[in-house]
Amino acid sequence: MTTHTKATISADPDIPAISITRDFAASVEQLVKAHTDPELYMRWVGPDDLETTIDYWDARTGGSWRFVQRRGDEEFAFHGCFHEVSPTRLVQTFTWEGMPDGVSLDTMTFEDLGDGRTRLHGRSIVDGFAARDAMLESGMETGVDEGYAKLDRLLAGDTL
């Protein structure tokens, strides 16, 4: 079995989608909590040089969310809706307010690998190949890798 200790990010050649795969030394329950509890989420999401604050967060099927990330005088806001919150799967929309017409539909599934390890499978579908390519070129890889490294540290510290 292949272990993904760093996120594997790939673009689907046939549809405008991005897939992310990453393994964690954590249970499915811990990872779902890390993605749905606003106090935990803001501690790990995104690049190291951004500070995150939660504007509102209602992590339930039918709920919505918004958070803001800051670096000095720069501000980046994101919002979306939770379409499904279940014990092994999250489905939500994701919009960067700097491009309000660009909405992705994100699905995360959490696969129990046994021995206290879980594989996250993420898939973001956007409205076209140009939007997908812009996401890939936006520096998202840095945000994903640095964010998940912070999450690894939270998990190791028994915060979850």
Domain spans of the chain?
8-156
Confidence of residue 160 (pLDDT cuts 50, 70, 90): low
C-alpha distances in angstroms, 113 versus 1, 22, 24, 51, 89? 10, 12, 10, 32, 15
Q: What CATH superfamily classification does 8-156 receive? A: START domain (3.30.530.20)
With CA atoms as reference, report the closest residue to 139 among 86, 58, 56, 71.
71
Which whole number is the average pLDDT over 126-147?
Answer: 90
User: Which pLDDT belongs to residue 140?
Assistant: 86
Q: Would you say 146 and 22 are in contact if contact means Cβ atoms under 8 Å apart? A: no
For residue 3, is pLDDT > 70? no
User: Which pLDDT belongs to residue 69?
Assistant: 96
Better-scored residue on pLDDT, 157 or 40: 40
Tokens of 143: 């945000």
For residue 114, is pLDDT > 60? yes
